[in-house]
Every structure is written in C-alpha cells, then in structure tokens.
Amino acid sequence: MKRRRKIAVALVALLLLSQAPFAYRSYRLWQLGAAVDELNARRVPALPGEAPFKEYVGVFHVHSFLGGHSKGTLEEIVRAAKSERLDFVLMTEHPQPQIDTAAATLRGFHDGVLFVGGSELVASDGGRLFVVPGVAAPDRNPPLQELVTRAKSEERLAVVGYPEEVRNPLPTGFDGIEVYNLYTNAKRINYATMLFDGLWSYWGRPELLFARFYERPAENLRRWDEYNASGAGRAYAFAGNDAHANVGWDWQDEDGRKVFDFKLDPYERSFRLVRIHVYDDRDFYNARGGDGEEPYDEQYLLGALRRGNFYLAFDVFGDPNGFSFTAAATRGSESWQAVMGGEIPLPPDGEVRLKVTLPVQARTVFYRDGQVVHEVPDATRAYLIVKQKGVYRVEVYLDQLGSLLEGKPWIISNPIFVR
Ligand SMILES: [Zn+2]
C-alpha cells in the first residue's frame, strides 16, 4: 500500500513537472495577448486632411464540404464570416466530377457578407491556380500556363497557389500569387507540443497559438519579388486561409454529441488570423469618368483585387485598419498619385515620394525589387524619397509585441510600380 502511494505521488510529481514548460509557454501567450490589447487601445486617429481609406476586409481560399476533405457546412462559413464581421469571402472549392462546386457554393450576399464562388484547379506540372469566378471540373489537369491563359481569356481572376510546388518557372499573365498559406504554415506544427499548448490555452485565446508556428514566407516572397522585378508581368500578393475546419481532434459520444472538440482551424479562428484588406478606392473610378457610386458587389471586389488595391494583414496581432501605402510625384504643374497596386512615373530629374500611414507605432521596412532599401522604426508615418525606378513595397513589424513575433510581419503591402 505504502509503495503504491509512493508511486502515485511520484507520478503526480512527474505530471506536474512535465507541464511546467507548457504553463510557461501559456504565460508567454497571455503576455502577448495583453500586449495586443494595449496596442489596439492605443490606435492613433488619422491626422486632419489625411482622410483614411475606407476598406473592405475579407478572406481568400476557403473550402466547404462540397469539394471533399472538409466537413465544413455553408451555414458554418456564413456564421463565422458574420461573427468576424467580414465584408467578403472568396470561396475556392475543389472541382468534383458530379457537381459544379463553384456554382453550388456560397455566392452573393448572405447576412451582409459578399461571397464569391471560385475554384482551386490542379496543374499537371505542379502548383495550383485559383480562378474566380470558378469553373466546372475540367476533363484533365493541364499545365499551369494553360490554366492561366484560359482563365485570363475568360476574364477570371487568376491566382497561383502553392508556388513552392510549381516545378517550372512561374507562368506569365496571372494576377496574383498566394505568398502565404495558413494551412501549409500550420503543417509545421509539432502535434504533441500543440496538444498541450492547446489544452493550456484553450479557454484563453487559442487564436494566439498561431504566434507559435507563424513564419514569414520568405521563399514565396522572394519568388514574387523576382517575378515583378523581372518585368514579366505584375502580380499581387494574396494570403490564403485555406480554411477547411478539419485540423484537430474531436470525440463524439454514442448519440453523436461532441464530448471533446479541439479544432485548430474552426472557420472563426482561421478568419481571425490573416485577412485581405481592399481599399475602397472610388477615386479610381471618378478619375475615369465614374460617378463614385459603383455598388459594392462581386464585380467591384474582383476589379480591386485585379488592380492590387489591397494589402495582407495578420489581424490577430492588431487591427491594421488605417494602414495605407501611397505615392506622389510632381513636375512643374503636373502631378501624379498612386495607391498600392498602381503605377507612377518617375519624372525626369525628379523624385517620387512614398508614404506609409499606420494606426499604431510600428517598424516599416521598404523593399525595392525584393531588397531592403530603408527602415523606419517606431513611427505612425514613414516616407521614402525615390529617385530610382523599381517595384516598391513595404512590410510592417510590431516589435513591441516581443520576441514571439521577431521577424514575422504584421502587414505585407502590395507594390507600387515606379516606372
Ligand atoms: Zn485549398
């Protein structure tokens, strides 16, 4: 009996000891959460005369049960989008031989959220292509370039997915690259560690577990920069949630009730982590004879995405609304302006002024053709005077959130092309 008690005490001690690192890791996440709250509470309002851009916020690359390997229902997706107060969701269903999944998935407005039905097509030479609006299942998988050419001839948005799997050089003529994919990133998770991390954080803010595996997608960013710098075409960066709501564990009792439900990627959580922020740039239309009253609909949204008038943000670390990246140039009485995604001429013997506005103090890193050219720490405004043509973009870092986010960008802008 005595011996049994000793063993029991030893086991309990061992259990407690084994959990100590996880308790500490959970504490670090709690600290991160407190820092994020403080950051959101300290947002700086826009300066007078600096009208902030209105933006539409949404997610790209979402699957439902229609395409297989996801159990997510359309109702769950609508509910999650509404509760996360998204403006749009770009569905990208896998084609199925029996049904046209792009036609059967969510489209139009549901509970105030705009849904656009797209497809995720497999290329025979590696990689994927997202086409929006989507298409019925093709008879065979053609090479990536053929998919792009076909999509563009049909005036669909064409975004190259899983660029790391593209075996040949990138095709030309597409609109964007999915530089970040949440699902691919999440595959780096060590499940044993994540199980205990999850148990310790489950009743706190489980979405912050993301900070444990999030990594800057350096290789995809490099390929994207290289493509734009080469002049082969203009591509914009997309972030895919690749939301399936199928990573994790659940146990059900005999009546099908969930006894334990530990999902790493329920739609709500996925939609909270990374988002696409689209500028509501009605000036673009006004300058081209529009009346500024274009309705917010599928056509408007896809147009803004094709023009690159958007940025990517890891919203889980802070509300980025108020970020902008613009350019201005003057020469005599002439003047030019551009927002991200756009082009601006470099006047002869002149300069272009790039400007970043931020809702909180942060570190802005300017890139030209993929190379860091300037850094501005701890500021809500960052400028760069440019006298050289090139493709310019910025990444924004929240150093104040601590070492868990070291080297991990909060915002990745689309470029401005100085020509
Ligand atoms: Zn997918």
- Assign residue 291 a region: left if phi > 0, alpha if psi is -120 to 50, beta otherwise? alpha
For residue 273, the Cα-to-chain-centroid distance in whole angstroms is 8
CA of 301 to the centre of ligand 1 (A): 21
Q: What is the Å distance from ligand 1's center to 167 Cα? A: 18
CA-wise closest residue to 94 among 114, 116, 65: 65
Rounded distance from Cα 69 to ligand 1 centre (Å): 10
Top-confidence residue, 261 or 117: 117
pLDDT value at residue 204: 75
Q: Please tell me the number of Cα atoms within 13 Å of 61 on its side-chain side.
A: 28
CA of 63 to the centre of ligand 1 (A): 7
Residues in the chain: 419
**Residue 172 corresponds to which tokens in the numbers above?**
């030309």
User: How far, in Å, from the CA of 92 to the mean position of ligand 1?
Assistant: 7
Question: For the domain 55-276, what is the CATH code?
Answer: 3.20.20
Alpha carbon of 61 to ligand 1 centroid (Å): 6
Whether residue 90 is predicted with pLDDT greater than 70 in this model: the reply is yes
Place of tokens 């950051």: 39
**Number of Cβ atoms within 10 Å of the Cβ of 273:** 23
Q: Give the distance (Å) from ligand 1 centre to CA of residue 96.
A: 14
| DSSP helix/strand/coil, 290 | coil
Helix axes 2-41, 191-201, angle to 10 degrees: 70
Q: What is the mean pLDDT of residues 156-176?
A: 94
- The Cα-based distances of 179 to 176, 224, 299 in angstroms read 9, 7, 24
Under the banding of pLDDT at 50, 70 and 90, the label for residue 189 is confident
Share of the chain above pLDDT 90, in %: 71
3-state class of 411 per DSSP?
A: strand
Query: What is the arithmetic mean of pLDDT over 133-145?
Result: 91
What distance in Å separates the CA atoms of residue 35 and residue 305, rounded to the nearest whole number?
32
Confidence of residue 137 (pLDDT cuts 50, 70, 90): confident
Centre of ligand 1 from the C-alpha of residue 373, in Å: 34
Q: Kindly write down the DSSP assignment for every residue of 63-88, as one continuous string.
A: --GGGSS----HHHHHHHHHHTT-SE
**Number of continuous H segments (helices) and E segments (strands) in the chain:** 11, 20
Give this prediction's pTM.
0.92
As a whole number, mean pLDDT of residues 144-152 equals: 96
Residue closest to 185 by CA, chosen among 202, 209, 206 = 209
Calculate how far, in angstroms, residue 185's C-alpha sits from the geometric centre of ligand 1.
13
Query: Which residues on neighbouring strands pair with residue 59, listed in sequence order?
Result: 89
Query: Ligand 1 centre from 177 Cα, in Å?
Result: 14
Spans of all domains in the chain: 55-276
Residue 228 binned pLDDT confidence (cut-offs 50, 70, 90) = very high
Q: How remote is the CA of residue 244 from the centroid of ligand 1, in Å?
A: 8
Q: How much distance in Å is there from the Cα of 17 to the middle of ligand 1?
A: 40
Distance set, CA 268 to CA 82, 190, 243, 244, 309 (Å)? 9, 22, 10, 11, 25
- Residue 120 Cα to ligand 1 middle (Å): 6
Separation of CA 84 and ligand 1 centre (Å) = 21
342 pLDDT tier (thresholds 50, 70, 90):
very high
Which pLDDT score, from 0 to 100, does residue 187 have?
81
Residues with Cβ within 8 Å of 194's Cβ and at least 6 positions away in sequence, in order, are 209, 212, 264
Q: Are 157 and 175 in contact (CB under 8 A)?
A: yes
- Calculate how far, in angstroms, residue 303's C-alpha sits from the geometric centre of ligand 1: 22
Assess contact for 270 and 209: CB atoms under 8 A: no
Token pair recorded at residue 44 = 């700086």
Residue 242 Cα, ligand 1 centroid: separation in angstroms?
A: 5
In angstroms, what CA-CA distances link 17 with 20, 23, 164? 5, 10, 41
